[in-house]
Amino acid sequence: MLMNKFAIACALGSLCTLQVQAQQSSSSSADAIAQYRAMLADGNPAELFEAKGEELWKTRRGPKNASLERCDLGKGPGVVKGVFVELPRYFADTGRVQDLESRLLSCMETLQGLDAKQIAATAFGRDEQKNLEGLVAWISAESRGLKFNLPQSHPQEQKMYAVGKRLFFFRGGPYDFACASCHSEEGKRIRLQDLPNLTKNPGDGVGFAAWPAYRVSSGELWGMQRRLNDCFRQQRFPFPGYASDVTVALATYMGVNSKGSVSIAPSIKR
Amino acid sequence: MADPMRIRAQAQGGNAVVRVLMSHEMETGQRKDAAGKTIPAWHITEVNAALNGKPVLSAQWGPAISKNPFLQFTVKGAKAGDKISVTWVDNKGDKRTDEATVA
């Protein structure tokens, strides 16, 4: 179905070469997926979300009729460039380690007067959650090409890493499953999808360094929260909640492991 | 009002390569919602492009085109500074026009 759509959309573009149909025999499935992604990357619809996010950042909204331009994402109020590759980090004003999405919730509440609890309870892709998609797309894009460098100097940050590691290896649920079941050795895959080893640094633009991402299969932009939500779903685990400490701990673990890797977010996934 | 398109137009050897991202649901009319009700079709039906106001491309689209479509085409003889405009119309009669300058 997707290939059909792709072929048609492709046929309209005169520069498009339909290599998909004339597949070279040598390439492995991983190469084929990489090739498919490279062809799509030029027209990544995440760009549409980025544009929306930038506008949302600057628009006065909410009961307090304020923009998010005074939001402190870790490098001082209003600084957006370079913040994404240093999150999650500890914030003194909330006394919590926060990832981008939980931090945005704090800003939306304190600056704009929106109800963070209500937004956290909203289904993905609806109302304010839709706005968050744009914001995470734009903010992560402002750090594109920079290297991950999460701070680990605060005791809370170290604790979050340790907790995240334990959660990553914690087995449970009806399938006796952990994140580590899929993501702790090289060369594993689900169907045709190669799985990165997230217990170490999987490299530039792989694993943690590829999210947020636009998912072609659902036509949606997924932040790390939604990515983790889907991981929990696949484990048949209950989701610990949007912006919960559990999700932030896991992000801290993966983010610290990715130290030095280049972020390509928002990327494009099948 | 629909969200803006992203249009990039680059001069290349006497032509211009135009890349367009459109923000559209492109609902096929074949899907059902959680309650089992058919989600009505809502997709782009017509795309037109013009170079300095002169039509250079017209396409008829249907439900087979993906959500948030990407369209790329080459315009012969377009040079830096020329204006490329792209318009789409959907089956609800909603339309959107955006313009870019060839760089």
Mean pLDDT of A216-229: 93
CB A73 within 8 Å of CB A81: no
Query: Which residues of A are catalytically annotated?
Result: 231
Q: What number of CA atoms fall less than 13 Å from residue A241's CA on the CB side?
A: 11
At A51, the pLDDT band (50, 70, 90 cuts) reads very high
Residue A234 has pLDDT above 70, yes or no: yes
What is the predicted pLDDT for the residue at A27? 58
Least CB-CB distance to B68: which of A12, A13, A48? A48
pLDDT of residue A10: 44
User: Contacts of residue A131 in chain B, CB cutoff 8 Å?
Assistant: none
User: Buried b vs exposed e over A96-122: b needs ≥16 C-beta within 10 Å?
Assistant: bbbbbbbbbbbbbbbbbebebeebbeb
Whether the pLDDT of residue A256 is over 80: the answer is yes
Is the confidence at residue A9, as pLDDT, over 80?
no
* % of chain A residues with pLDDT over 90: 76
Q: DSSP string covering A75-133, please? A: SSBT--TTTGGG-SEEETTTTEEE-HHHHHHHHHHHTT---HHHHHHSPTTSHHHHHHH
- pLDDT at A12 > cutoff 70: no
Q: What are the phi and psi torsion angles at A79 (to 5°)?
A: -80, 125
Stated as kind and residue range, the H or E segment containing B8 is: strand B6-12
pLDDT in tens, A76-89: 999 999 999 999 99
| Chain A residue numbers touching B23 (CB-CB < 8 A) | 45, 48
Residues 6+ apart with CB under 8 A from A166: none
Q: Which residues contact B102 (CB under 8 A, 6 or more apart)?
A: B9, B10, B11, B16, B78, B79, B80, B81, B82, B83, B84
Report phi then psi at A134, rounded to 5. Answer: -65, -45
How much is the pLDDT for B1? 64
Number of A/B CB contacts below 8 angstroms equals: 56
Q: What is the DSSP string of A39-83?
A: HHHTT-THHHHHHHHHHHHHS-BTTTTB-STT-BSSSSBT--TTT
In sequence order, what are the beta bridge partners of A193?
Answer: A190
Say whether residue B31 is in contact with chain A using an 8 A CB cutoff: no
Chain A residues touching B64 at Cβ < 8 A: 4-5, 8
Q: Which residue of B has its CA nearest to A7?
A: B65
- B74 contacts on A by Cβ (under 8 Å): 14-15
Residue A236 and residue B82: Cα distance in Å, rounded? 55
Q: pTM for this one?
A: 0.85
Token pair, residue A7, equals 């072929």
Q: Which of A6, A16, A219 lies nearest to residue B68, judging by beta carbons?
A: A219
Asked if the Cβ–Cβ distance from A43 to B17 is below 8 Å, we say no
- Tell whether B72 lies on the interface with A, counting CB pairs under 8 A: yes
Say if residues B80 and B94 touch (Cβ distance below 8 Å): no
Please tell me what DSSP assigns to residue B68: S
